Amino acid sequence: MRCPFCGHDDTQVKDSRSTEDGVAIRRRRVCSACTQRFTTVERVQLRELSVTKADGRRVPFDRDKLARSIRVALRKRPVPEERQERLVNGLVRQLEASGEQEISSHRIGQLAMDALREVDGVAYVRFTSVYRDFREVEAFSKILADMKPIPGETDIPSPDDSQETP
């Protein structure tokens, strides 16, 4: 493994641990040249996946791009980082288990929307608005009207509902 700091080829593994969900191994490494420490993550990859874009281009599947999109949608939402990682791992496993080597970007987007809808309604609307390129307020209204309440989510009280007395 090449050192990300100095580019030296000789690094040594100091510690290895399985991640909480058991689908990856985190390794702490140290560079023998500059003595900097860094972490690598090793995951099982069942097959090389490629993504077919709407314009017909084919690009390699990028797990990190999917993870970034999910994290942006969930930014400042009450969803722990471990839950976000499990969500991304689940999506990647679904894609790999499909048996297909080429997957449309539309299918990946739809799977992500479905998963986010189950996790957090606000994140679902955020992701969907970017994915479907909403340009008008009516698009938001339609998607909100189509959403059914998620069990466990409660209405936020309005300021008029407060129990405070002057």
Q: In a 10 Å sphere around its CB, with 0-12 CB exposed, 13-18 middle and 19+ buried, how is residue 3 labelled?
A: buried
Strands 50-52 and 102-104: parallel
Q: Can you tell me whether residue 77 is helix, strand or coil?
A: coil
pLDDT, residue 159, reads 46
pLDDT, residue 147, reads 74
Cβ count within 10 A of residue 13: 11
Percentage, residues of the chain above pLDDT 70: 85
Model confidence at 151, pLDDT cuts 50, 70, 90, reads low
Q: Compute the average pLDDT of residues 106-119.
A: 93
Residues 6+ apart with CB under 8 A from 14: 28, 29, 30, 37
Furthest C-alpha separation in the chain: 70
Q: Can you tell me whether residue 133 is helix, strand or coil?
A: coil
Q: Is the pLDDT of residue 14 over 90?
A: yes
**pLDDT tens track for 23-38:** 778 899 999 999 999 9
Model confidence at 158, pLDDT cuts 50, 70, 90, reads very low
Model confidence at 46, pLDDT cuts 50, 70, 90, reads low
